[in-house]
């Protein structure tokens, strides 16, 4: 399987799992407790409370309307990934309403359920973003604003989410409203942390007298590339080889052990990079 197919499969899995996590969070934790943390899911919770239509029907209906609006305004630029994530997310919520009725919260601990709602939504949203996807909903409005205005889209969407969350004060009372706003801000931070964690890599600078053995391991065992730079030690004036390479966090320990085994005298500098763009990593 070539790199492009591997990346496509990885993105598909990330988007699928992310959409499932978001749907589970909405259905099992947010809706029963009235946690409104913005987005179409938050609107669906509030509208489901005041109308005969269920929360799931509102979420699906609003998402479909926004998809249609996106097609009209944005055309093909909206992307197949947005369509896939939006329909999967809405479909799972509808399916859960059919097969499993949630008439009350899972527990009598709203703070505990808020924590799990934040974790599921934050990680799920981060997985979708990492795969260059979108869960649709108010994200589509952001894309429309970006195309036709000079507005700071990030701030605009945060304001929209805050307004949606603020509606929970009127729908569910002060206590639930405070939980909702707290959940929105915590979720925003968690998405950033999770995205950085997914993208985190290790950058190695290896100063060694045995570059060939180390590069053989990097090329054959780790399937990564490296850059070799010739240098000179300032103190000894001996010629040195300086290898530059990057790898994922889970691979870093293997490389460290191999360097130590091949050349115990090697001088290794390891730094953390929040993102690597290029072949074998994230496509630019």
Range of the domain at 208: 200-273
Which of 171, 198, 225 marks a domain boundary? Answer: 198
What pLDDT sits at residue 151?
Answer: 66
Same domain, yes or no, for 222 and 164? no
DSSP state of 25: I
Is residue 283 included in any domain, yes or no?
no
- Shared domain for 156 and 254, answered yes or no, is no
Q: Are residues 204 and 191 in the same domain?
A: no
* Ordered per-residue pLDDT tens for the chain, 284 residues: 555 677 788 889 999 999 999 999 999 999 999 999 988 999 999 999 899 899 999 999 998 888 888 778 767 656 788 888 889 999 999 999 999 888 889 999 999 999 999 999 999 988 888 887 777 777 777 767 766 676 666 677 778 888 889 999 999 999 999 999 999 999 888 888 887 777 778 889 999 888 888 998 888 888 888 888 888 777 777 788 899 998 887 788 888 888 888 888 888 999 887 766 666 666 55
**Cβ-based burial of 164 (10 A; exposed 0-12, middle 13-18, buried ≥19):** buried
pLDDT value for 281: 62
Residue 86 is assigned to a structural domain of this protein = yes
Among candidate residues 187, 241, 260, the one with its CA nearest the CA of residue 30? 187
Short-list 32, 26, 22, CA closest to 176: 32
What is the rounded distance in angstroms from the CA atom of residue 26 to the CA atom of residue 36?
A: 9
CB burial readout 138-152, b (16+ within 10 A) else e: bbbbbbbbbeeeeee
Shared domain for 116 and 170, answered yes or no, is: yes
pTM for this prediction: 0.76
Residue 6 has, within 13 A of its CA and on its CB side, a CA count of: 8
Per-residue pLDDT at 280: 60
User: How far is 64 from 84, CA to CA, in rounded Å?
Assistant: 12
Residue 278 lies in a domain: no
Which of 198, 224, 253 is the last residue before a domain boundary?
A: 198
Are 25 and 53 found together in one domain?
Answer: yes
pLDDT at position 282: 61
Residue 223 CA neighbour count, 13 Å, CB half: 6
171 and 73 fall within a common domain: yes
Give the pLDDT of residue 114.
95
User: In this structure, what CATH number is given to the domain that contains residue 249?
Assistant: 3.30.70.120
Residue 127 domain-assigned (yes or no):
yes
3-state secondary structure of 193: helix
Model pLDDT for residues 165-189, shown as the tens digit of each residue: 999 999 999 999 999 999 999 988 8
Residues 6+ apart with CB under 8 A from 87: 63
Is 141 a domain residue?
A: yes
Residues 46 and 172 in one domain: yes
The pLDDT of residue 209: 85
Separation CA 276–CA 21 (nearest Å) = 26
Structural domain count of the chain = 2
Residue 281 is assigned to a structural domain of this protein: no
One domain for residues 19 and 60:
yes
Strand pairing category for 227-232 and 239-248:
antiparallel
Looking at the fold, whether 119 and 218 belong to one and the same domain comes out as no
191/205 same-domain check: no
CA 144/CA 138 separation, integer angstroms: 10
**In a domain? residue 178:** yes
The structure tokens 């909702």 sit at 180
């Amino acid at each position: 399987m070539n790199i492009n197919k591997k990346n496509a499969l990885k993105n598909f899995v990330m988007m699928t799992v992310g959409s499932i996590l978001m749907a589970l969070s909405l259905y099992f934790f947010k809706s029963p407790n009235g946690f409104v943390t913005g987005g179409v899911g938050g609107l669906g919770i509030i509208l489901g409370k005041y109308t005969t239509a269920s929360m799931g029907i509102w979420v699906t209906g609003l998402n479909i309307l926004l998809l249609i609006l996106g097609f009209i305004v944005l055309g093909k630029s909206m992307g197949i990934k947005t369509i896939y994530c939006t329909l999967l997310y809405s479909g799972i919520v509808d399916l859960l309403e059919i097969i499993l009725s949630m008439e009350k919260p899972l527990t009598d601990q709203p703070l505990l359920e808020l924590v799990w709602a934040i974790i599921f939504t934050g990680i799920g949203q981060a997985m979708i973003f990492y795969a260059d996807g979108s869960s649709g909903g108010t994200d589509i409005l952001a894309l429309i604003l970006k195309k036709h205005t000079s507005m700071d889209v990030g701030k605009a969407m945060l304001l929209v989410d805050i307004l949606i969350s603020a509606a929970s004060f009127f729908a569910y009372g002060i206590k639930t409203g405070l939980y909702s706003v707290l959940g929105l801000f915590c979720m925003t931070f968690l998405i950033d942390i999770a995205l950085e964690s997914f993208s985190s890599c290790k950058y190695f600078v290896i100063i060694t007298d045995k570059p060939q053995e180390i590069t053989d391991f990097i090329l054959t065992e780790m399937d990564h590339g490296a850059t070799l730079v010739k240098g000179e030690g300032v103190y000894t004036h001996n010629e040195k080889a300086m290898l530059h390479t990057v790898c994922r966090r889970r691979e870093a320990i293997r490389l460290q052990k191999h360097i130590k085994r091949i050349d115990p005298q090697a001088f290794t500098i390891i730094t953390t990079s929040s993102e690597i763009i290029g072949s074998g990593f994230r496509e630019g």
